[in-house]
Amino acid sequence: KTEQVTILTTYSGQLFLFRSLRKQHKNLEGMKITVVDNYQGEESDIILLSLVRSNEKGNVGFLKTENRICVALSRAKYGLYIMGNMDNLYNSGNLWKQIKETLVNQDSYGDELTLECAIHSGITTKVAKSDDFNIIIEGGCSKLCKSLLMCGHYCTSICHSYDHEHLEFKCMELCNK
C-alpha cells in the first residue's frame, strides 16, 4: 500500500518535483514525500531514499553531516532503498565508505532494483534507469491482467497495480449483464 512507503529526499527542489510527479500518478496517492530534516522521530515500513547529487567537484554538501545520515538510514521498518551516486558519497569520507562496505557485504548494493509483481507471483522486472519503468507503466508487470470481471469477461489491460476489484474498469466486450 502506498501509505506504507515514504520517499525521503535531502533537497527541497527534489521534494517539490516528487510531489508534482505524484499528482500525475493516481496510484501514488497516499505516499508520503518529505525531506530528511522533517522526518526525525518518524518511520515508515518502506523508505525510498534519494541521495541524488552529482557534480564535477564531487561535493556532497550536507550529506557529510552524520546526524542527517543517521536519520536518513534509520527510518525504515522493513525496507530501505537508496538511490544516488555512491561513488561520489564514498569519496566524501569514512562514514560513507563504511556504509558502502556494509551494503556490499550484505549483498544489498547494486546498480538495479528488482521489482516483483504483486499480482503475478514470481514475475520480476529489473529497473536501473527511469526509462525501465516504461516496461511496467501501469505498476504491475508486462503480462495481461486477465482478472475475471463482473460481466464474465476477462480484463484485457496490461497488469495494473490499481483498481484490483475492477470497479472503474469498463469492459469493451459485448456484455449480457
Three-state helix/strand/coil letters over 90-141: HCCCHHHHHHHHHHHHCCCCCCCEEEECCCCCCCEEEECCHHHHHHHCCEEE
Note whether 20 and 103 are same-domain residues: yes
Note whether 95 and 121 are same-domain residues: no
Identify whether the C-beta of residue 168 lies closer than 8 Å to the C-beta of residue 149.
no
What's the total number of domains in the chain?
A: 2
Residue with cell 569519496: 91
Note whether 123 and 101 are same-domain residues: no
Note whether 12 and 70 are same-domain residues: yes
Residue 174 belongs to some domain of the structure: no
Domain span at residue 20 reads 2-110
Note whether 57 and 91 are same-domain residues: yes
Dist. CA 113–CA 157, nearest whole Å: 25
Note whether 13 and 80 are same-domain residues: yes
Phi, then psi, of 74 in degrees rounded to 5? -120, 20
Residue 171 belongs to some domain of the structure: no
Q: What is the pLDDT along the chain (177 residues), one digit of tens a residue?
A: 888 999 999 888 899 999 999 998 877 888 999 999 899 889 999 999 998 866 667 667 777 778 888 888 999 999 999 888 888 888 888 888 999 999 999 999 998 888 889 888 899 999 988 888 888 878 889 899 999 998 889 999 999 888 888 988 888 888 765
